[in-house]
Amino acid sequence: MIDIHTHILPCLDDGAPSLEVAVLMARIAYAQGIRAMIATPHHRNGRYRNEADVIHLATARLNEELQQQGVDVKVYAGQEIQMYDRLLLDWMEGNTLLSLHHSKYILIELPATHIPSSCRDLFYELRLLGHVPIIAHPERNAGVMQDLAQLGELVREGALCQVTASSLTGRFGSKIRKLAWKLCKQNLIHLIASDCHNCRSRPPDLAKSYQQIEEVLGEHYVQSYRLNASNVLQDKDIAVQEPVLSSSIWRMSRY
């Protein structure tokens, strides 16, 4: 498995607090069946600023340590970029921002309270530059909770969405779990990732979510999500199904 959204790099944000913890997180990931992890420390979220050069150095150091300790997990560089006013300008200047492992895919975090009105314009401009925005954990966005139509329009216009595995398994509560499953069933989710921060409360756990996805939606969904993660890492295109914005689809299962 490939995990495209992780906070495994030590001492950069609210993720791994030390190199030792980062290595333990990689061991846990390996036991889950994960063999590749994209490190996506927070950038410009109001608390953390992790620019490209710092992330590349930290990624190289962690990979060196994992190799020395015999942990067969490869870490790749990326960012979880909070939307901010200069994002497009900074991207065009090319010094501080990172896509996911040099691909066309950019992991973008929306404000927790809403979908900004400028979101469509930003995504449009990024697409003109040949990039594909991936919206991180939309199931935890208050604007999405109130109205799925906005998210549906962003997807129709070319954005992708990544749900957090722990949202599907209930770690963030029943309300977020219900919305996460609804988004999956309405073809608004294209990628599953752990968004891991540590070894206990937010570990790199993908196996349980994929098991539940197989039970609820079928093996073809598992295969699709896993292929999409591989395509992100390899900078290949991702096939997107038309969103189905219908409330009745929620009655498909107990999740």
**Per-residue pLDDT tens over the stretch 50-105:** 999 999 999 999 999 999 999 999 999 999 999 999 999 999 998 899 999 999 99
Q: Which domain holds residue 94?
A: 2-243
Position 63 scores a pLDDT of 98
The C-alpha atoms of residue 219 and residue 202 are separated, in whole angstroms, by 25
* Residue at 251 is within a domain: no
CB neighbourhood size of 6 (10 A):
29
Say whether pLDDT at 254 is over 80: no
* Residue at 66 is within a domain: yes
How many structural domains are present in the chain? Answer: 1
* Residue at 54 is within a domain: yes
Q: Is the dihedral of CA 40, 188, 232, 51 positive or negative?
A: negative
* Residue at 158 is within a domain: yes
Is pTM beyond 0.75? Reply is yes
Q: What is the CATH number of the domain that holds 235?
A: 3.20.20.140
> With pLDDT > 90 as the criterion, what percentage of the chain qualifies?
93
Say whether pLDDT at 252 is over 80: no
* Residue at 115 is within a domain: yes
- Residue where the block lists tokens 């199904």: 241
Residue 15 gets which letter from DSSP?
S
* Residue at 252 is within a domain: no
* Residue at 18 is within a domain: yes
Choice among 147-151, 174-178, 244-248 with the minimum mean pLDDT: 244-248
Residue in 124, 126, 212 with CA at minimum distance from that of residue 167 = 212
The DSSP annotation for 76-126 comes to EE--EEEP-TTHHHHHHHTSS---STTSSEEEEEPPTT---TTHHHHHHHH
Residue 152 gets which letter from DSSP?
H
